[in-house]
């Protein structure tokens, strides 16, 4: 997802809404990355356990089993690495968008509601 929000002198409320939508999309991306990370770790562990079982003789060693175990370990490592960089990039973009949203909110001239003590005037 490559949602970019261009900051200009437009309506700050609209810019804040766009940033919040971007932050939400990035949070979903990060959550998806966490799930893929879990799958990658399971593949690595499964492949490693299969190799270990072959080494101790619990499973008959043949070319298909060894190839499958090796593919699981290597595939899991590749998936984990690329997914981690995707998650790191999404997190950096989310932090940048959160900082921009906070800056926009700080620029708004917000007025206290009611009598200024959190109690509405009667």
pTM, two decimals, is 0.68
* Inside any domain, residue 31: yes
């932090």: which residue's tokens? Answer: 95
Whether 74 has a pLDDT exceeding 80, the answer reads yes
Cα–Cα distance, 59 to 50 (Å, whole number): 8
Work out the percent of the chain whose per-residue pLDDT is above 90.
66
Q: What pLDDT was estimated at residue 3?
A: 45
* Inside any domain, residue 121: no
* Inside any domain, residue 37: yes
* Inside any domain, residue 50: yes
* Inside any domain, residue 24: yes
Whether 58 has a pLDDT exceeding 80, the answer reads yes
* Inside any domain, residue 54: yes
Q: Which of 68, 66, 86 is nearest to 76 (CA)?
A: 68
User: Where does the pLDDT of residue 4 fall: very low under 50, low under 70, confident under 90, or very high at 90 and above?
Assistant: very low
Cα–Cα distance, 74 to 111 (Å, whole number): 58
* Inside any domain, residue 89: yes
Whether 18 has a pLDDT exceeding 90, the answer reads yes
């990035």: which residue's tokens? Answer: 26
pLDDT averaged over every residue in the chain? 86
Work out the percent of the chain whose per-residue pLDDT is above 70.
85
Cα–Cα distance, 1 to 28 (Å, whole number): 10
- CB-CB contact of 68 with 46 (8 Å): no
């997802």: which residue's tokens? Answer: 1
Q: For residue range 84-121, what is the model confidence (pLDDT) as tens digits?
A: 999 999 999 999 999 999 998 888 877 777 765 655 65
Which has more confidence, 119 or 42? Answer: 42
DSSP string over 36-76: HHHHHHHHHHHHHHHHHHHHHTSS---HHHHHHHHHHHHHH
Q: For residue 95, give its domain range.
A: 12-107
Number of domains the chain is built from: 1
Whether 2 has a pLDDT exceeding 60, the answer reads no
């Amino acid at each position: 997802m490559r949602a970019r929000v261009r900051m200009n002198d437009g309506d700050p409320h609209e810019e804040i809404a766009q940033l919040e939508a971007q932050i939400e999309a990035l949070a979903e991306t990060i959550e998806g990355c966490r799930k893929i990370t879990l799958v990658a770790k399971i593949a690595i562990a499964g492949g490693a356990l299969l190799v270990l079982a072959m080494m101790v003789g619990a499973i008959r060693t043949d070319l298909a089993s060894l190839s499958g175990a090796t593919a699981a370990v290597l595939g899991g490592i590749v998936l984990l690495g690329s997914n981690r960089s995707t998650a790191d990039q999404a997190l950096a973009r989310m932090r940048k968008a959160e900082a921009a949203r906070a800056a926009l909110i700080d620029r708004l001239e917000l007025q206290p509601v009611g009598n200024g003590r959190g109690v509405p005037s009667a």
